[in-house]
A and B are shown apart, each in its own frame.
Chain A
Amino acid sequence: AQSVTQPDIHITVSEGASLELRCNYSYGATPYLFWYVQSPGQGLQLLLKYFSGDTLVQGIKGFEAEFKRSQSSFNLRKPSVHWSDAAEYFCAVALNTGGFKTIFGAGTRLFVKA
């Protein structure tokens, strides 16, 4: 069965520092891959997605992610973190079988210190 692993429950970075959030997936083929961000009490906002083509994907808010098939990874990066980036980040995979079943990782809580 497909699954998503986010090994870091929480990460703390200083404002202005770079960020990398890790995501590994288990799936028989290349799935659709996503990163979502969720602020407390809010819904999900899609940061970026990958399903084919260039393995380096640019998203909103200065985020990017790189798909590495050999490592079954889809890590999220940002070169310089802002205090407003503090939130919960979810990596997700999806299977399209007549509907789009999205499976989320456990999430990584990002804390940003001044």
Chain B
Amino acid sequence: DTEVTQTPKHLVMGMTNKKSLKCEQHMGHRAMYWYKQKAKKPPELMFVYSYEKLSINESVPSRFSPECPNSSLLNLHLHALQPEDSALYLCASSQIRGTEAFFGQGTRLTVV
């Protein structure tokens, strides 16, 4: 199994809603990542988890709250988002000393 699975594929939420994005992998990878991709832009790193601990936060606003409950699962909790947060959110995973990150298909988020 070389897949990273993200759910949901699409999400529409209001600015006062709380929602969560989910990412799962069963490749035994101990590093997991969240990226944000705006339209016509490259993906930008948001968070890195290594051994279920947050190791990199790229100055992401606190309305985005990541969580890594176990080595296979990565969540991104969303609260009080703004319309400009609408984007494709990509999850990825890798071995800690790996040579490649595996990306999921993304969640298309629209904030209304």
- A73: min CB distance to chain B, Å: 18
Q: Are A46 and B50 in contact (CB under 8 A)?
A: no
CA distance in complex: A101, B44 (Å): 10
Q: Are B42 and A43 in contact (CB under 8 A)?
A: no
Q: How large is the interface on A (under 10, 10 to 19, 20 to 34, 35 or more residues)?
A: 20 to 34
| Secondary structure type dominating chain A contacts | strand
Known: A42-B105, A44-B103. A96 touches B43 (CB 8 A): no
Residues of A within 8 A of B101 (CB): 94, 100, 102
Q: Are A99 and B96 in contact (CB under 8 A)?
A: yes
Mask for A55-96, Cβ within 8 A of B = 1, else 0? 000000000000000000000000000000000001000101
Question: Could you show 26 A-B contacts with beta carbons less than 8 Å apart?
Answer: A34-B100, A36-B103, A41-B108, A43-B103, A43-B104, A43-B105, A43-B106, A49-B99, A49-B100, A90-B42, A90-B43, A96-B97, A96-B99, A98-B31, A99-B31, A99-B33, A99-B49, A99-B50, A99-B94, A100-B100, A100-B101, A101-B48, A101-B56, A102-B92, A104-B42, A107-B42
Q: Are B99 and A44 in contact (CB under 8 A)?
A: no
Q: Which residue of B lies closest to A52 (CB)?
A: B99
8 Å CB interface, B12-65 against A = 31, 33, 40-45, 48-50, 55-56
User: Count the B residues whose beta carbon is within 8 Å of the partner chain — how many?
Assistant: 28
CA distance in complex: A101, B43 (Å): 12
Q: Which residue of A lies closest to B48 (CB)?
A: A99
Q: Which residue of B lies closest to A43 (CB)?
A: B105
- A27 within 8 Å of B (CB atoms): no
Q: Which residue of B lies closest to A51 (CB)?
A: B99
Q: Are A99 and B55 in contact (CB under 8 A)?
A: yes
